Structure 1
Amino acid sequence: MTTEADITAWLATQQEAMTALLREMVDIDSGSYNKPGIDAVGAVIRRFLESHGLTVETIAQQRHGDCLRASIPGQQAGNAGGAIMLMGHRDTVFPDGEAERRPFAIRDGIAYGPGVADMKAGLTMNCFILAAFAKFGGAPAPLVGLFTGDEEIGSPEGRAVIEAEARRARVVFNSEPGRVSGNVVTGRKGGVFMQFRITGKAAHSGGNFAEGISAIEELARKVQAIHALTDLDRGITLNVGLVSGGQSVNTVAPWAEGQIDLRYVEPADKDDIMARINAIIERSYVPGTQAQLTVRGEFLPLTQTPAARKLFELYVSAAAASGFRTDGEFTGGCADSGFTAGVGTPTICAVGPVGGKAHTPEEFLRIDTLVPRAQACARAILRLDGTSL
């Protein structure tokens, strides 16, 4: 048998083991600000990988989950420099206690639970691909599995690790969930997450109303102005998704704050929109208020370069050999793949198992896609030397 046949045949026997590893990870709370939980998921991954003979390095992070870097030396020289990088994040968007309220469950071949698709199934897949190459060899270049911990909030700490690793990489496979259509992702929007805080002046809303300066009124006016920047034809959206403020119902609000989500397609549009947002924040619609804007996280857009197109075509061929058809699609969601593409490394995203309704209680994963998606990614890795990548 060839190495490709050995690896894909072994993966075909691993669905039950994949499901068990996935269950263990899903049943651990790992929201982006829960560093102990994210690191607990990392401990599960480390234990699995080390049991299969891989070396796992910890890249400590102060505020969020540590990054884990697993590696396998290449078996061949390859026709291009750099490692083959498998990437995924361990954090989810869900609050503490969600894993206990909604533990991992399978109904009619569909798995449910917090982060089951986004993206603990992709982490599971990457673990088994790495284990397969550790067992059978054959990688045309060194393999690196990078497991980060803060993607859902823009990778404020993980970005530097991701970009450094990507600069040394030959290609990147990001195992975000495959689309419900079965497609992979070849393009994503960029995004900026911001927070603005407004200061007003408190006053009794009955006895001294005129002495107050309402930060909440100022926030309302700014929200309207910010939302008006949305331009659907250009793929630009603005959403103030969280607001808070005030002291009591009978007090003119002395403070208020909001959080802004900006999405864009063209990199040149970001600077234009950011300048307009800053102008809105600097303007006082309610005289006497002051406001400050803070950028909390940022994603770069994923665009398909000619080299990334070749990687996509290689994956499509590998998928066909693994028994399924796939195509590329664009999504408004952001991901760490924008950072790897941003440093010039050919990148393909959403090669993970197929799922949907991410970030909601209805999030789901098709169990029957665990094995074929792992086989397709392994085949694409093995066939890299037949390309100019």
Structure 2
Amino acid sequence: MLLVANAGEEGLGNLKGSRQIVKEYEGRIREFYSIDGYMDHITTDAVGSRRYEVEVLTEGGHSFTNFGNRNAIAYLASMIDTLYTLKVPQTKTKTTYNVGTIQGGTSVNTIAQQAKMLYEFRSDSREDLEFMDQHFRAVAESYRSKQVEVNTVLVGERPCSSGVDPVKQDRITSKVTEILKKHTGTEPKNQCGSTDCNIPLSQGIPSVCFGAVRGGGAHTRQEWVDIDSLKEGYRVTFELILSCF
């Protein structure tokens, strides 16, 4: 058994910790568990994603003297609006997109020469991820045709599940479900998600991500956790560890 406290799961970390674990122990990992999130759900299927930094550059200038020159912020805003008109694939899977940050300009009386954003799209279907990527590239190219410089950099890529033995996956999923149910009194919901398990799941390794705390409001400034629930979380975690012997 290997117990690891790793880094890089959130944001632009691109699962670098999980990638390194799977790389160093290639061919030797039978099962993979990630302790992350709340105890009311478990994640057993990987949601893949691609993340791009998008930069728009124009000539800019003084807001009065050079009025009429192209504004990078205006073009970036227009590009965002275009991206948000897309209807995601209507399949059995779930596909989403999001602009997470924007920045640019230098002052109130300056026509912005530069503006940036971070854009991502996600899906538990590799085919739908490719569809989203093609749409994104087409939008970027359409703005380049307006004689605006558009630079795109892939800053994160997370894979979907691939080739996992369903019998082995069901076995560890049932084990974690029963342990959580035993110590919390409720059965956790089974869902797909983007976690450290993406990497092993993409390489056919049975994997489950589960939480060890009660809480809510994830990814907001109002996120909270119930400190007392850590006692339940400890019991869940330790029983899972002992079950492996």
* TM-score > 0.5 by shorter chain: yes
**Contact 1:299–1:336 (CA<8 Å) still a contact in 2?**
no
Residue in 2 that maps onto 1:46: none
| Alignment partner of 1:378 out of 216, 238, 241 | 238
What is the distance in 1 between the residues matched to 2:107 and 2:131? 38
What is the distance in 2 between the residues matched to 1:145 and 1:286? 52
| Alignment partner of 1:328 out of 180, 185, 189 | 189
| Alignment partner of 1:300 out of 149, 159, 166 | 159
Task: Determine if the alignment matches structure 1 residue 231 to structure 2 residue 92.
Answer: no
| Alignment partner of 1:171 out of 3, 20, 31 | 31
Cα offsets for 1:344-379 (capped at 9, x unmatched): 111111242222222333322233432333333433
Pairwise mapping of residues 119-130 of structure 1 onto structure 2 (< 5 A)?
A: none
Aligned-residue CA RMSD in angstroms?
A: 2.6
| Alignment partner of 2:214 out of 346, 354, 369 | 354
CA 155–204 in structure 1, closer or farther in 2 if over 3 Å, else same? closer
CA 255–279 in structure 1, closer or farther in 2 if over 3 Å, else same? same
Letter in 2 for 1:194: Y
Pairwise mapping of residues 90-101 of structure 1 onto structure 2 (< 5 A)?
A: none
Pairwise mapping of residues 195-274 of structure 1 onto structure 2 (< 5 A)?
A: 195-210=53-68, 212-231=69-88, 233-234=90-91, 235-274=94-133
What is the distance in 2 between the residues matched to 1:270 and 1:349? 22
Cα offsets for 1:113-143 (capped at 9, x unmatched): xxxxxxxxxxxxxxxxxxxxxxxxxxxxxx1
**Contact 2:51–2:154 (CA<8 Å) still a contact in 1?**
yes
Local SS of the residue matching 1:249: coil
**TM-score, normalisation: structure 2:** 0.84
CA 254–185 in structure 1, closer or farther in 2 if over 3 Å, else same? same
Letter in 2 for 1:360: T
Cα offsets for 1:204-253 (capped at 9, x unmatched): 3323324x222222212210121223527442222112112223333322
| Alignment partner of 1:367 out of 227, 232, 245 | 227
What is the distance in 1 between the residues matched to 2:28 and 2:181? 29
Cα offsets for 1:2-49 (capped at 9, x unmatched): xxxxxxxxxxxxxxxxxxxxxxxxxxxxxxxxxxxxxxxxxxxxxxxx
Local SS of the residue matching 1:349: strand
Provide structure 1 residue ranges, at least 5 long, that are not aligned to the other structure: 1-142
Greater relative contact order structure (CA < 8 Å, 6+ sep): 2
Deviation of 1:162 (Å): 3.0
What is the distance in 1 between the residues matched to 2:64 and 2:224? 51
- Greater helix content: 1
Local SS of the residue matching 2:204: coil
Residue in 2 that maps onto 1:146: 4
Identity of aligned residues (%): 22
Letter in 2 for 1:189: V
**Contact 2:50–2:154 (CA<8 Å) still a contact in 1?**
yes
Count of equivalent residues: 239
CA 365–268 in structure 1, closer or farther in 2 if over 3 Å, else same? same
Provide structure 2 residue ranges, at least 5 long, that are not aligned to the other structure: none
CA 319–251 in structure 1, closer or farther in 2 if over 3 Å, else same? closer
Local SS of the residue matching 2:13: coil
| Alignment partner of 1:192 out of 46, 50, 56 | 50
Residue in 2 that maps onto 1:279: 138
**Contact 1:166–1:172 (CA<8 Å) still a contact in 2?**
no
**TM-score, normalisation: structure 1:** 0.55
Local SS of the residue matching 1:360: coil
| Alignment partner of 1:314 out of 166, 175, 178 | 175
